[in-house]
Amino acid sequence: MHSVFLGLGSNVGDREQHISDALTLLPVKQVSALYETSPVYNEEQDWFLNCAVEITTELSPQALMQELLKIEAQLGRTRTAKNGPRIIDIDILLYDDLILDEEGLKIPHPGITERLFVLEPLNELCPEKKHPVLKKHIGALHADLDTEQQIKPYNPTRPQTPSRA
């Protein structure tokens, strides 16, 4: 089994419901709190809800990426503009200690170190995990981030981890 950390985000419609729907379709081990975050890159859009999730899977990184794209499509995501509004976005952040650089799939996710909306919830789940390329703990990367990005807790309760019957 592989330990994988994902980033989830939504800024269209019922953001909380979209993330909740995605969680029901993932083999969730643990999930961070939800955070409301300012948009990055394309600032002329609504704020996002974001969280990080740890899952376990037997899928290869490529097969997992295909499954995540299917989940996004199932939940209504259509890709229109780069960094634009989205019903749901699911990114592979870390996959074990793998370093992968392929067309369309880079692990660890190249945006981890510059995105507070990724580092804040990821730090909540795994502050001692090392970034496989930088060899720095997630907690240290989080502490080192100097940014104007805004983030605030959305709700003091965590999203419910779906039960598996």
How many angstroms separate the CA atoms of 122 and 101, rounded? 21
For residues 108 and 94, is the Cβ–Cβ distance under 8 A? yes
Q: 2-153 belongs to which CATH class?
A: alpha beta
User: pLDDT tens digit string along 110-134?
Assistant: 999 999 999 999 999 999 999 999 9
Contact 108, 124 (CB under 8 A): no
Cα gap 40→89, rounded to integer Å: 14
Which of 87, 86, 91, 85 is CA-nearest to residue 42?
85
Domain ranges within the chain, ordered by starting residue:
2-153
Q: Token pair 């709700």 is at which residue? A: 155
Bigger pLDDT: 61 vs 155: 61
20-61 pLDDT tens trace: 999 999 999 999 999 999 888 777 788 899 999 999 999 999
* 120's tokens: 């804040």
Q: Is the pTM higher than 0.95? A: no
Distance of CA 155 to the CA centre of its chain: 17
